[in-house]
Structure 1
Amino acid sequence: MTTTPGTLEDLHGVRVLRCTPDGPLLDGEQAALDLIGDAMGYDAELVALPVERVADEFFRLKSGVAGAVMQKFVNYRVRLAVVGDLSRHLAESSALRDFVHETNQGSHIWFLADEDALAARLRP
């Protein structure tokens, strides 16, 4: 059963599950597993999740939600791109700014401003 409304798209040769802004929040390990299961059901390599679908606790690093969620995506080898305006969250925490910067240096989890940034990131 699919829990994530979305569409499958091929973006520069990468199968992307593009989630809609409405739907369950990414608020912990079970929500991450649901998204990963949906991605696998679509045979998607990457989940593009609007920032509106990410729970506030995720952005409070001390909560541990971000680490737990990210570990699930890495373990199951499904990439995650959180797409949208993070400025409100980034303004509240220098640790989060550093975390986002470091995470974006990798190839598995990204925080991107918009769809154009996602397309640019995936462009060969």
Structure 2
Amino acid sequence: MKIEAHTIHNKKIAEITSDKMVINTVEDGLDLLGDLYYRDFDSVVIHEKNITPHFFDLKTGIAGEILQKFAQYRLPLVIIGDFSKYKSGSLEAFILESNKGRHINFRASIAEALRR
């Protein structure tokens, strides 16, 4: 896993990149949150390909637990990728609702995520 730091408007943004899965479990998500929180990042960007597909099946509860912690610690998270491959009306509604707020967002590209 590589953490690439971006600074925009005096905000320190961590972009997580890897050739492997970074978040397989809730614990992986919480470990990542803790690591980045204590490194004083202001927000996090992670690629959808680095998150287990089970995250995007809302019935598993993985997304809810991880995203709740990011929101509690006030560490905004942007997940970037193509989410159209997940054929779930509830996920689509969740993404639309999340994108209205500031803590959890889903975007198509790193450029769009950094603008956000």
Compute the TM-score of the two structures, normalised by the length of structure 2: 0.90
Q: 2:67: which partner in 1?
A: 70
Q: Distance in 1 between matches of 2:47 and 2:14?
A: 11
Deviation at 1:52, TM superposition (A): 0.6
Deviation at 1:28, TM superposition (A): 3.2
Q: How many residues align?
A: 116
Q: Deviations over 1:10-42 (max 9, x none)?
A: 023321011113344323321121111221232
Q: 1:114: which partner in 2?
A: 109
> Alignment partner of 2:18: what SS?
coil
Determine if contact 1:26/1:32 at 8 Å carries over to the other structure.
yes
Q: CA RMSD in A?
A: 1.5
Q: 1:46: which partner in 2?
A: 43
Deviation at 1:84, TM superposition (A): 1.5
- Which of 15, 39, 54 in structure 2 is aligned with 1:57? 54
Q: 2:81: which partner in 1?
A: 84
Alignment partner of 1:99 is 2:102: no
- Seen in structure 2, the aligned counterparts of structure 1 residues 60 and 67 have a Cα distance that, compared at 3 Å, is same
What are structure 2's unaligned runs of at least 5 residues?
Answer: none
What are structure 1's unaligned runs of at least 5 residues?
Answer: none
Determine if contact 1:24/1:31 at 8 Å carries over to the other structure.
no
Compute the TM-score of the two structures, normalised by the length of structure 1: 0.85
> Alignment partner of 1:7: what SS?
strand
Task: Return 76-85 or 21-30, whichever deviates more.
Answer: 21-30
Structure 1 runs of 4+ aligned residues shifted over 6 Å read none
Task: Return 92-101 or 32-41, whichever deviates more.
Answer: 32-41
Identity over the aligned pairs, expressed in percent?
Answer: 32
- Which of 3, 6, 15 in structure 1 is aligned with 2:3? 6
